[in-house]
Structure 1
């Protein structure tokens, strides 16, 4: 593969030209506008590195071999085709100005990763300054905590500065995308998650300072389209469409046994979710309930379209923990009926309900609503800044 290594002298211009090719090999449930919006977002990825070293992988070659040799500033450009076998990104690290980028060079979904039955399709432990752009990721697991993406790290070295952008995540597994163990500064933007998940479409266990924007979640999930729990905080959900067949669309907080079979640092104790901002999202009528606050505080649900009810309840495990929900704001949402808020007894302390009403038109959300022109989503982009400026032109 070394003979295919190419060092570009100027700002990724050649890589951008490569991305002008047709999206041969794309397969999925997307419409034309969705595909075009995702492709425009993925095409920005090479601008994250001023002078990238580009390694091209073609069908029959090993993506894993390229990952194992990648250095900061490498773009692993994967040409159209099907690549069987899970990818292990463990220990892969770039730097904030020279991340490592994995790129589907033929267009969104042209490079297809088919995961192994006993591993996540794309897994990572102790990863930093890495981006994954434009792949079709197929999970095929029938048991275990395994699905599409599974990214974390030991508490001493959590995942940092990871961008998951413009991918199609499908198949069967536990979760479409799972982040845990203190993962921070994660950007999950413009992805289509359309599979059958044993638990969640997207699961966040002890995650902070992260952004989920303009994703579309369809298919089915036993529990939720997205969950943020186990001390998760400072997360923004903006412009997503959550319409999977599931019990709940969005869990701000949640329940689980992870607190009792892992050594949780004190920083992650005392609540399930805090300082979560959920704005501009659409929760369709497939989830049984639109939103649940579960052991959550200081969070806001504003300017969303919610087809179902909103619940507030504690995470209570007698003799182990009692995390109530309190001091959350529910403002300016379009709701199905005036009696949409259904708190458990005592789980509305400090809540603000204002400006919610029925009858307004559904807002556009998900990958089809990606702004044009889009901004580059780089691994080191500050999630908070990106959330505030994502819709502005560069």
Structure 2
């Protein structure tokens, strides 16, 4: 190759590299660090999509509203504690006004996507520790949500969420709650494959409630010491709740006693309860020592919804059940197409399913 040819190739390379640089300018995502005495909300307000807000160890008394996509809010686990602001402090945002700890809020026209909440402890809020509405791909991991008035971690009108590795305890209602919507009637909505996995849920009214939703997985959770372990709740609306998988969960001794509410009778000793569900697979769970005298008590219980919707075409297979009373397996409705196969258990209603 001649000297002139080499010079031409060098020129072309310079042009190409320069062109690539000009075509793809980028700015690195920023990291914002919050220290005790500073405002988490101010850091969130200053952040741009893609940024990370690191909350240093300490106690913060505020509620945080997130309305921007692709933000990460990260703390140091039990060392980073968020509590409600003092009662005399005016509500700083709609999240505080509604009694929640962290709110991730989109709208029906524009969801808030890709938000991550990780390694924070939220305690003592009047309503929920984490509340999300109109989101996509929300990730809540390694969060401690305890002693909140209603739900620990909850969402509505949202898709593709991941709730993983959280400790959710002693909340007034469900530890983790996913619903189509909490303020209107309507058929079950597709969550796009939401995942509730590897969480520890204790001391709540119900460990996990999934209400009027479809297409999600509840797997590998340890659920004990609640009034009930898992509720799959549907009604007469269409599409029906269901088309989900509950597998490889350990659901043991959910024998706390909870009084009746306008939606449910008194509950105690319920492992997994399906009401008005279709095409749900309950597989390879260990369900033991859930004992009570409620109509919903027992290991795995199929019960018509409280508006009369039946369970249909659900599959309960390869579960290990023991010590649940009044029965390990109970089919207390008149739904059709429900299959019980390969389960190891001691007592069933009606007899013969073990």
TM-score of the two chains, using structure 1 as the length reference: 0.65
Q: Which runs of no fewer than 5 residues in structure 1 stay unpaired?
A: 1-49, 94-98, 153-157, 260-268, 360-394
CA contact (8 A) 1:253 1:272 kept: no
CA contact (8 A) 2:311 2:338 kept: no
Residues 135, 345 of structure 1: CA spacing in aligned structure 2 closer, same or farther, 3 A cutoff?
Answer: closer
CA contact (8 A) 2:328 2:345 kept: no
CA contact (8 A) 2:310 2:333 kept: no
**1:249 matched residue in structure 2:** 229
CA contact (8 A) 1:271 1:296 kept: no
Whole-Å separation in 2 of the counterparts to 1:53 and 1:280: 39
Matched, 1:313 2:303: yes
Shift of 1:254: 4.8
* Residue correspondence of structure 1 range 347-386 to structure 2 within 5 A: 347=335, 349-358=336-345
SS in 1 for 2:137: strand
Q: Tell me the alpha carbon deviations over residues 15-47 of structure 1, each in whole angstroms, 9 at most, x when there is no partner.
A: xxxxxxxxxxxxxxxxxxxxxxxxxxxxxxxxx
- Which structure would you say has the larger Rg? 2
Shift of 1:315: 2.2
**1:333 matched residue in structure 2:** 319
* Residue correspondence of structure 1 range 233-248 to structure 2 within 5 A: 233-246=214-227, 248=228
Whole-Å separation in 2 of the counterparts to 1:293 and 1:220: 18
* Count of residue correspondences: 270
**2:279 matched residue in structure 1:** 298
Shift of 1:113: 0.8
CA contact (8 A) 1:148 1:169 kept: yes
CA contact (8 A) 1:330 1:353 kept: yes
Q: Tell me the alpha carbon deviations over residues 173-210 of structure 1, each in whole angstroms, 9 at most, x when there is no partner.
A: 11111111x2111000000001231x211111116120
**1:165 matched residue in structure 2:** 141
CA contact (8 A) 2:302 2:333 kept: no
CA contact (8 A) 1:239 1:281 kept: yes
**2:120 matched residue in structure 1:** 135
TM-score of the two chains, using structure 2 as the length reference: 0.72
Whole-Å separation in 2 of the counterparts to 1:177 and 1:272: 23
**1:202 matched residue in structure 2:** 176
Residues 60, 345 of structure 1: CA spacing in aligned structure 2 closer, same or farther, 3 A cutoff?
Answer: closer
Q: Tell me the alpha carbon deviations over residues 243-279 of structure 1, each in whole angstroms, 9 at most, x when there is no partner.
A: 1321x21112257xxx9xxxxxxxxx41552211001
CA contact (8 A) 2:234 2:305 kept: yes
Structure showing greater relative contact order (alpha-carbon pairs closer than 8 Å, 6 or more residues apart): 1
Whole-Å separation in 2 of the counterparts to 1:271 and 1:250: 21
Whole-Å separation in 2 of the counterparts to 1:298 and 1:64: 43
Shift of 1:337: 5.5
* Aligned CA-pair RMSD: 2.1
Moved over 4 A (4+): none
SS in 2 for 1:173: coil
Shift of 1:332: 0.6
User: Aligned match of 2:250 in 272, 282, 300?
Assistant: 282
CA contact (8 A) 1:252 1:276 kept: no
Shift of 1:140: 3.0
Q: Which runs of no fewer than 5 residues in structure 2 stay unpaired?
A: 1-26, 88-97, 107-111, 181-188, 256-268, 291-298, 347-354
**1:3 matched residue in structure 2:** none
SS in 1 for 2:42: helix
User: Aligned match of 1:109 in 78, 86, 93?
Assistant: 78
Q: Tell me the alpha carbon deviations over residues 48-69 of structure 1, each in whole angstroms, 9 at most, x when there is no partner.
A: xx95311111111110011112
